[in-house]
Amino acid sequence: MSTPAAPAPAPAPATAECQLIQGRPIAQRIQADLKTEIEQLRAQNVALKLVAVMVGENAGSTVYVNQQRKLADSMGIAYELMQLPGTSTEADVIQVVERLNADPAVTGVILQQPMPQQIAIRNIIEKLNPAKDAEGMHPNSLGHVLMGDAHVAPCTASAVMEILAAQGMNLYGKEVVIVGHSDIVGKPLTLMMLNKFGTTTTCHIATSQAHKLQDHLATAEVVVVAVGVARLIKGEWLRPGTVLIDVGINKVGDQIVGDADFESCKLKCAAITPVPGGVGPLTNTMLMKNLVALARAAHH
């Protein structure tokens, strides 16, 4: 007689208190507001046009470009992809950027990353007119993020701020830990949260190497993780009731997972973003929000 197979372990129960924060409805709400603004601009004869500059072929960038075009179409924004050969030099790309700077029909420009090795993206961004910086990555835009009066900011960092705002989260006096200090997410987000009077701590690779990441997380009320390491953050490291925003996108086998170990973290968190479906759906919407802000600034 064969022994019955052991029952599969039951999935970890979701705590009644842990709210799953879905990005899509937040994105849709923002898109609806932006559409109204775009119609108002059109009534003033202001048409919006977004141009993406892509150098060489890249499967990931092609996916992003298609998503951007679809969203732009749905919002009444003209979208153009300028595809340059993979052998282009920095001078070639700068020439294109300067042409776009001078074209009054272009509201904003995206420099699609990654670019081929011979091109330092930094050198290209600096040539872009900050008034057309749709990604909020020009040093001028980042300077305004620092000073707390930016009208455009890096899209992923803005997406996190929109999620927290949609949660009704008041950061004033909150212990905030940001894990990851990249120029596009961790650093601008630290400044944006600091500008809201969060008590911000930014952790990075050296924090982990010094074995201090858990110490910082233990006191955090809000955690944002953007490192690109699958399931780095464990639930047992978190203070009960934490709000956790997971920016990470990691491929593990045929699964996409975040930088937080979702199953253990949701047992400790008051609210958590899933991956996929949390921050991701908002990023392109923030691009369009930046574009509208650029159009308004140019025509006020």
Residues from 192 through 221 that contact ligand NAP (CB under 6 A): 203-205, 207-208
Shortest gap between Cβ of 156 and ligand NAP (angstroms)? 4
Looking at the Cβ atoms of 100 and 160, the one nearer to ligand NAP is 160
Residue nearest to ligand NAP (CB): 182
> Distance between CA atoms of 155 and 171, rounded to whole angstroms?
19
Classified as helix, coil or strand, 245 is strand
Taking CB under 6 A as the criterion, the residue among 96, 185, 260, 288 binding ligand NAP is 185
290 binds ligand NAP (CB under 6 A): no
> Distance between CA atoms of 32 and 82, rounded to whole angstroms?
28
User: CA dist 164 to 59, 70, 139, 245, 286, Å?
Assistant: 31, 26, 25, 9, 14
Residues from 12 through 41 that contact ligand NAP (CB under 6 A): none
68 binds ligand NAP (CB under 6 A): no
Shortest gap between Cβ of 99 and ligand NAP (angstroms)? 28
What letter does residue 134 receive in the DSSP assignment?
Answer: T
Taking CB under 6 A as the criterion, the residue among 145, 227, 244, 292 binding ligand NAP is 227
x/- map, 108-147, ligand NAP, by CB under 6 A? ----------------------------------------
The closest of 206, 261, 207 to 238, measured between CA atoms, is 261
> Distance between CA atoms of 96 and 292, rounded to whole angstroms?
22
Shortest gap between Cβ of 10 and ligand NAP (angstroms)? 30
- E strand or H helix at 292, and its extent? helix 280-298
User: CA dist 200 to 46, 151, 166, 194, 196, Å?
Assistant: 39, 22, 20, 6, 10
Looking at the Cβ atoms of 100 and 217, the one nearer to ligand NAP is 217
Looking at the Cβ atoms of 88 and 190, the one nearer to ligand NAP is 190
Name, in order, each residue with C-beta under 8 angstroms of 90's C-beta and a sequence gap of 6 or more. Answer: 118, 119, 120, 123, 124
Shortest gap between Cβ of 7 and ligand NAP (angstroms)? 35
Shortest gap between Cβ of 13 and ligand NAP (angstroms)? 27
> Distance between CA atoms of 119 and 95, rounded to whole angstroms?
13
181 binds ligand NAP (CB under 6 A): yes
Shortest gap between Cβ of 42 and ligand NAP (angstroms)? 28
> Distance between CA atoms of 82 and 98, rounded to whole angstroms?
13
Residue 276 preceded by cis peptide, ω within 30: yes
Looking at the Cβ atoms of 124 and 230, the one nearer to ligand NAP is 230
Binding interface with ligand NAP (CB under 6 A): 156, 179-182, 184-186, 203-205, 207-208, 226-229, 232, 247-250, 279-280, 283
